[in-house]
Chains A and B, each alone.
Chain A
Amino acid sequence: MASAQAASLIRRLTRGDHEALGEFYDLYAGLVNGMAIRILRDAAEAEDTVQEVFVQVWQQAARFDPSRGTPEAWLCTMARTRALDRLRKRSSRREEPELDDQGSTPAPRTEEALAVRKALDGLSEDQRRALELAYYEGLTQSEIAERLREPLGTVKTRIRTALTRLRGVLGPSS
């Protein structure tokens, strides 16, 4: 399973094994790139994000705590944080591109990715829309309410219900 391989690679990274970085990159560059592209919708900016995330992995591998989750979740959190930072920096300068059709996302490769995709598909359209605005655009609850022209309370309930449901379906990390 990818996570076990990743955990072993992270141990090697902690020891300063530079070769392990290449292997770790091969395993997860697509994951990080996918997140960055989805958020930034710009291949060049996504690549910069990928670079930043893996430099961070190299420097901070020792901070990874397996008791707090999978390496994939750790990476995705770093990727999302960095990509959203970039998005916020440029949003004052540039108009947001319209969201692409979701069909452009390639098919997930692992079982866990499939499960996540399936769980997301199980949400209602309203729930998924509100969740995605928070997840990929970094909008706050008030900003989402404004964007969707819905009452704040409704938006909060939708997001809360969506995440609670996903947690129920996906369970704790394996």
Chain B
Amino acid sequence: MLRFVFFRLLQSLIALAILSVVVFVLARATGDPLHMILPMNASEEDYANARRYLGLDRPYVAQYLSFVGRAVTGDFGNSIRARRPVSELLRERLPNSLKLAAFAMSVSLAIAFPLGVMAAVKKGTGLDRAAQLVAVLGQSLPTFWVAIVLVEFVAGRLQWLPAGGADSLASYVLPGFTLGWFVVAGMMRLLRSGMLEVLDSEYVKLARLKGVAERRVVWVHALKNALIPVVTFAGIYFAILVTTAIVVETVFAWPGLGRLAYDGITSRDFPVIQAVVLATAVIVAAVNLCVDCLYAVIDPRIRYSR
């Protein structure tokens, strides 16, 4: 098991290293940031000075190495637009994003679990149909449109909930649900199909024959094995959640990483883009690592097959 964790960790680090190069190259390729920060009438000399001041005149390899060296210690340089350390911006924004993601994730799980299991148990009934409708709608509704419609009707016309910001618990509700719906849909489908398969298996029949209470058969014996595919996809769903967060945070004016990324890219703020993409990648990689280890614990076959 330790060997498995070690090699898996090594893989993640290599992937992150490759990603850092890609990010560095792409960020450099997004055009000259000086056009955005210097006034229209700046002279050639002003450009040269600014370039030297920001360290943009050095060779790319040197820029990359110093970027990696400082990034490891948590120093991402200064935001070109905000003129503040990027690490400070990250510290401000990251907790907000994590809180929103955690809220969305827990709401999704709280809805997806009972709904997915019950849909499989009561297959073909009205409840099952309703659950499948929720699932298919969740994967067909454009998130940003849902966000706008919710802002207009629930927050605007009905005035039930705040439309933006992250001030109170109530302000979590709209962005949290918008963000979580897709995950609910996916998880529920996986659980339902997993449960259907497992409920039909011999060992579940045996458990019933032994006289195990039906509730225990469903929620303990069957659910344990139906969870395996859900765990497998948890990492991918997390990556999707992070992606969706960019749109959701933009619409709900949520002061998180997603909005920081959007603002950073529209104003060509290199240090911010690099930091956000890398921070996101580290989080996604860490989550995937945990998921894989968890997976290896649940399903020992995995440990030996790699």
Whether A associates with B in a native complex is no
